[in-house]
């Protein structure tokens, strides 16, 4: 099992957990849990593959659905036992999945021969778009459109990953993953934002 596939499955599970957490917060039933978990886990990668004109990864590999089901079921058991989620649990799970999917998505795009800039954009989409679909289905403003830095963390991390592949490929994965994860957690902690409008209040 190569590292790309491993990253994909781990990211799928982490994002599925973030979907289950949001389903709990929105008081959804079992179907809602599975829908949010699945959309979060495979939504971004599906859009990426369609744009790359590549075979959609989950159509021929049932392991993704096994991971989604196990992660969702585990999250439900954990939430039912604790009855209280740690503060920022959704944001932490989302940041972890984001970092995994950005690196994996960027690498997959590069494997299809696209330019570095296109690969960076595809990495950002892989990380962001599943969470965006999750938030839309849960009837809330997607994280990518508000609050702390989100898409920018993905772009910076994917850019560092691509640059590292040219100069220090041995640690490119670690650098790309760490950049996205640390930047996203720092943005949550210190409320980093990119303000473009001036508001009276």
Separation between Cα atoms, residue 61 and residue 86, nearest integer Å = 33
- Alpha carbon of 189 to those of 84, 87, 143, 158, 185: distances in Å? 21, 12, 15, 22, 6
Q: How many domains does the chain have?
A: 1
In a domain, 91, yes or no: yes
Question: What are the backbone dihedrals phi and psi of residue 83, each rounded to the nearest 5 degrees, phi first?
Answer: 60, 5
In a domain, 197, yes or no: no
In a domain, 102, yes or no: yes
Please tell me the predicted confidence (pLDDT) of residue 201: 65
Q: Does 198 score more than 90 pLDDT?
A: no
Per-residue pLDDT of 148-196, as tens digits, reads 899 999 999 999 999 999 999 999 999 999 999 999 999 999 989 887 7
Per-residue pLDDT of 71-113, as tens digits, reads 999 999 999 998 777 767 888 998 999 999 999 999 999 999 9
For residue 36, give both structure tokens: 């949010």
In a domain, 41, yes or no: yes
In a domain, 186, yes or no: no
Please say whether the dihedral angle defined by the alpha carbons of residues 114, 177, 192 and 47, taken in this order, is positive or negative: positive
Rounded to two decimals, what is the model's pTM?
A: 0.91
The average confidence (pLDDT) of the chain is 92
Q: Does 1 score more than 60 pLDDT?
A: no
Q: Does 197 score more than 90 pLDDT?
A: no
- How far out from the chain centre does Cα 185 lie? 13
In a domain, 184, yes or no: no
Q: Which domain holds residue 27?
A: 3-145
Query: How does residue 128 score in pLDDT terms, banded at 50, 70 and 90?
Result: very high
Please tell me the predicted confidence (pLDDT) of residue 6: 86
């Amino acid at each position: 099992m190569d590292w790309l596939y491993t990253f994909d499955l781990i990211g799928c599970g982490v994002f599925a957990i973030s979907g289950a957490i949001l389903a709990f917060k929105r008081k959804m039933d079992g179907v809602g849990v599975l829908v949010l978990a699945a959309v979060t886990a495979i939504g971004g990668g599906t859009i990426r593959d369609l744009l790359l004109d590549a075979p959609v990864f989950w159509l021929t590999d049932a392991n993704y659905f096994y991971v989604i089901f196990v992660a969702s079921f585990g999250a439900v058991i954990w939430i039912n036992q604790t009855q209280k989620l740690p503060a920022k649990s959704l944001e932490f799970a989302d940041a972890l999945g984001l970092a995994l999917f950005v690196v994996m998505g960027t690498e997959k795009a590069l494997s299809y021969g696209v330019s570095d800039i296109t690969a960076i954009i595809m990495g950002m989409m892989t990380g962001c778009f599943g969470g965006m679909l999750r938030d839309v289905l849960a009837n809330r403003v997607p994280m990518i459109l508000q609050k702390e830095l989100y898409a920018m963390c993905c772009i910076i991390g994917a850019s560092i990953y691509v640059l590292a592949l040219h100069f220090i490929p041995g640690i490119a994965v670690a650098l790309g993953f760490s950049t996205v994860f640390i930047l996203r957690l720092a943005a949550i902690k210190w409320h980093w934002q990119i303000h473009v409008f001036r508001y009276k209040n």
